[in-house]
Structure 1
């Protein structure tokens, strides 16, 4: 069974506006995420807008659709992966030296049966895949940090 919450965070020496502009630019998601190869919003970044995505793991590629669920500029961006009902969030908090970013994958109600089956059969099991997701989240936040601090 999927963990109800996967989460990682980072401190970035840049103001929330700078960090927000990087995170809210979905076209740049492939620069941050080791798994994402495409994230294209089908409209403005606001609740209800859907995105077309392409993910990759080794030789395996798979498309997904997401729905943006929450947008609070410079504070929170969230989207739901339609195929498995997980919700991904980026939360920005101002700090004395810049911005704390918390990236989370929420699956309080679990994942769909199909998603769990795919993770078991193609990704080495749910636990193994979730460890890979956490490593990817860490990599994403470190890449966002590097870009934000370069200015």
Structure 2
């Protein structure tokens, strides 16, 4: 079926910066609009990013805008090893995550993923088909956006 979705989107990048520095960037939800080409604005309820924290996003595609709500579902700082930060988007049930792994040279391998452990909500599937250009086109945009996000985080971390 041409309008099915991919269960996993994933990309990684090597960053010449310690995991703690990269962690401080990926967990700064209000600054995600600086890195993600789809995010216009994010606001964390209560201001503190931690396990269970909730936030609102305003996303974009061209001139189209739509709100989403997220909740931090994994928050494991990279103390002496691997770290992971993940949030679930209420409207479509997707889980977005950043995994940080130390590299042999003291840098960090950063992996961004979009997973669909509970599938994607029917409302989101219909809206993607009708408003956002269909699953394949939207998935291609997401894949490009993940790469752009990783490259922008790398540039910031290495500056």
Find the partner of 2:100 among 92, 113, 118. Answer: 92
The match for 1:115 is 124
Worse overlay, 13-22 or 122-131: 122-131
SS of 2:92's partner is coil
**Structure 1 spans left out of the alignment, 5+ residues:** none
Q: Distance in 2 between matches of 1:96 and 1:34?
A: 31
Taking structure 2 as the reference length, what is the TM-score of the superposition? Answer: 0.91
CA RMSD of aligned residues (A): 0.9
SS of 1:96's partner is coil
Counterpart contact for 1:2–1:107, Cα < 8 Å: no
Deviation at 1:122, TM superposition (A): 1.2
The match for 2:53 is 49
Listed as ranges, the matches of 1:13-32 within 5 Å are 13-32=16-35
Matched, 1:144 2:153: yes
**Structure 2 spans left out of the alignment, 5+ residues:** none
Taking structure 1 as the reference length, what is the TM-score of the superposition? Answer: 0.96
Listed as ranges, the matches of 1:45-84 within 5 Å are 45-74=49-78, 75-84=83-92
The match for 1:124 is 133
The match for 2:42 is 39
1:56-101 superposed Cα distances (whole Å, 9 cap, x missing partner):
1100011110011010013110000000100000000000230000
SS of 1:10's partner is strand
Runs of 4+ in 1 over 2 A off after TM superposition: none
SS of 1:18's partner is helix
